[in-house]
Structure 1
Amino acid sequence: MLKKIPDDEYEHFWKEYSTNIKLGVMEDPSNRSRLAKLLRFHSSRGAEMTFLSEYVERMKPQQSHIYYIAGSSRAEVERSPFAERLVRAGYEVLYLTEAVDEYCLSSLPEYDGHKFQNIAKEIFDLDENERQQSAHEAARTRLEPLTRWLGDKLGAWITRAAVSRRLARSPAALVATVFGWTGNMERLALSNAHQKADDAQRKHHLSQKKMLEINPRHPVILELLRRVQEDPEEPALLRAAHTLYRTAALRSGYMLQEGQAVEFAETVETMLQTSLGLPPDAAPEEEDFDVDADADADADAAEAEPADEHDEL
């Protein structure tokens, strides 16, 4: 019956029942494949929503996965670092912008023989030709001193640093492990008012380290490589590594935790002072507090109160 619904009427049907259909995909394994045919999502192809069947029809000849990225809005996912190279190379990426979307596709193993791939997670398969694979291996070898150095200096927060296959414009991104939470999942968990702050599963996922991916073609990364090779103990390099990690976390949808937000703000403020030609340690002007005068005024007021009461008597 649903297959016979005209396009204009399906739009209304989807607005009314889309959440129920997605929950059905998650909770009803026996009907999962049939319900999947009704799913629609935004995508990098254009403004119109697309069925999974339409996505598959448009897949590149060598493409083996259905790519998707989740976030709080279309504007956010369109600027995601994870989709940069895919979109530039002409691959279509599904944009998941509803709270239930990422859970829905996580529970759907495949569609029409094609596995889904969350491009914000560690395992990322991109069908590359021999030339591209060779270039990537060369970049890995060339940047090995930097990835090793970053893995050592940022070891408290990351599992490792690696050369990225998915970045085009951004210098770095923070990638979830296979079973870890993406930035979108983490945001949803932290905003869940019904979940206890000391929930064991939540604590476990929030404490998991992520992988730092770096863009082998970005000028910031290439300059870091040069300086690490010259003097890996240069103090400014460690500050740069911390800033790179924190900007990558924010760009990837994660929140800074355990005092990192304050430290990051202080770093940005120091950079702002330097860019304005001020010394990095320039401090605010001291405010003149006349403590003695305030104390004398309080003492005079205290002495005046009993006198006023005596006069009234």
Structure 2
Amino acid sequence: KRGTLITLHINKDSDEFLDSFRLRSIITKYSNYIPFPIFLKDLDKKEKEEKINEGDPLWLKDKKDIKKEDYKQFYNNISLNFDDPLKTIHYNAEGVINYKALLYLPTNQPMDLFNSDRKNKIKLYVQKVFITDECNEIIPNWLRFIPGVIDSQDISLNISREMLQNNPVITKIKKGITTKILNEFTTFANKENNKYLSFWKNFGAVIKEGLYELNEYHEKILSLVRFENSLDSTFISLNDYEKKMIKNQKEIYYFANTDKEHIKNSPQLEVFLDKKIPVLFMTDAVDEFWLQNVKYKKFDFKSITKGKVDLSKFGDEKKGKNKDKNKKLNSNINDLINVLKNELKDKISDVILSERLTKSPVLLLADESGMDINMEKLMKMHNQKTPTSKKILEINSDHPMIIKISENLKKINHKKAANLLLDQANILDGNTLSNPSEYIENLTELFIN
């Protein structure tokens, strides 16, 4: 017979490589797609030899020759997911760098999607020979949910994992597949909006991590993001938001809070709903981090729970001026403000008349130079040593309770009334009271008086 016979002698401490199951796993992992058949025969068991490797990789076939079932089977094999792929991205890249890619968009969220140690599921091949499935540099971490295969002819077969980390070919492949994936997302969003929204709800929080990183894809990602909005509770793009902006609006208003139900019922929204000013609901923890460094076109993002929001230029300007004048002339309200400032000086930074409350009596705001309310909550949830910052207490001078308290300051206990209003503001902000019994006591006494 023609050819070469190679005999390997195995050390006693390496007899695991004589196990048929171990050999089978090594062959299918590293040499499953080489163009030569590999047979395995267990001489001890006197079994017939069995062909182990497949030999013909799916990603090298012409797309028109591949059945939908074949794509699905391959997806399930490499991703270990049990769902059907939502989209298949199969293409050849030719030019300065040549490679073939077969990538998938999952339908469902993997259970370990947000695990801190989760790696991507991209398998790297060189000329059909498996190299590694631990190449973190081949796709951004914010696309880690996309499984697939990359096969390049421009990487050496004997490249080490260390060399992969700073390899210029890998860097160019990463740029190429990232651009391709984002373009596919854009086409998906434009042509199949409802299906895209389902996809976004599953994976949007991960994709937005790309806005927190310093990279060249911010503009592309911003065109893909979707948020629920205050006007009609539908999910909209930033381009849709721009169309909903009212006259003279120069900022994109948002409300960040991971409690979706709290957002919809919060007093923070009252004036925005009254004036029909759209507010985006930022309900993913990652939102607080990328919002600080990103603009959309010429628009800054403005939190409605932090600092002063000037809404005087919206709505009935004459009515607004008269209302402000009446507030300034009300001496009882001014006396109440002074009482609150004095009694709560160790707990809050300031007390001001609210321009955003239309129904509720009070609310809390973060100082313009401080940490946003939601960010502070997130930091504390993750056991970060974050000191509690003093908030601004806003009061609604048109609310009957505020008016009644201001008119009866001589009859009530100032300290108890002040703490009562602060507790109410905390409740409306979704905070747990440190001393609920004291709140009930103060409330009861105020009712009696």
Question: TM-score w.r.t. structure 1 length?
Answer: 0.74
* Cα separation, partners in 2 of 1:246 and 1:224, compared to 1, 3 Å: same
1:136 offset after TM fit, Å?
1.9
SS of residue matched to 2:418: helix
Which secondary structure does the structure 1 equivalent of 2:291 belong to? helix
| Equivalent residue for 1:131, pick from 316, 319, 322 | 319
Query: Mean Cα displacement is larger for which, 48-57 or 147-156?
Result: 147-156
Match of 2:131 in 1: none
Counterpart check, 1:119 vs 2:119: no
Q: Which amino acid aligns with 2:378?
A: L
**For residues 51 and 93 of structure 1, what CA distance do their matches in structure 2 show?**
12
Q: Does 1:58 align with 2:230?
A: no
Residue correspondence of structure 1 range 1-313 to structure 2 within 5 A: 1=183, 2-5=185-188, 6=191, 7-28=193-214, 30-108=216-294, 110-126=295-311, 127-128=313-314, 129-142=317-330, 143-193=333-383, 195=384, 199=385, 202-203=386-387, 206=388, 208-228=389-409, 231=410, 234-256=411-433, 261-262=434-435, 264-268=436-440, 271=443
> Does structure 2 retain, via aligned residues, the 8 Å contact 1:81–1:169?
yes
Higher relative contact order (CA 8 A, sep 6+): 1
- Residues 215-254 of structure 1: per-residue CA shift (max 9 Å, x gap): 01101111122123xx2xx552321111101110221234
Asked if the contact 2:423–2:439 (Cα under 8 Å) also holds between the matched residues in 1, the reply is no
Work out the CA distance in 2 between the residues paired with 1:147 and 1:272: 22
Query: What is the CA distance between 1:113 and its match in structure 2?
Result: 1.7
Query: 1:186 touches 1:254 (CA, 8 Å); kept in 2?
Result: no
Cα drift, residue 4 of structure 1? 1.6
Question: Using a 3 Å threshold, how does the CA distance of structure 1 residues 124 and 271 change in structure 2: closer, same or farther?
Answer: closer
Q: Which has the higher helix share?
A: 1
Counterpart amino acid of residue 265 in structure 1? S
Shift of 1:134: 3.6
TM-score (norm 2): 0.53
Looking at structure 1, the residues matched to 399 and 442 of structure 2 have their Cα atoms a distance apart, in angstroms, of: 23
Residue 74 of structure 1 deviates from its aligned partner by 2.4
Write the letter of the residue equivalent to 1:4: T
Distance apart, 1:158 and its partner CA = 1.2
Give 3-state SS (helix, strand or coil) of 1:63's partner.
coil
Q: How big is the shift at 1:191? A: 1.4
Deviation >4 Å, runs of 4+: 269-275
Matched pairs, number? 258
Identity %: 28
**Per-residue displacement from partner, 1:23-47 (whole Å, max 9, x unpaired)?**
1111125432332111111111224
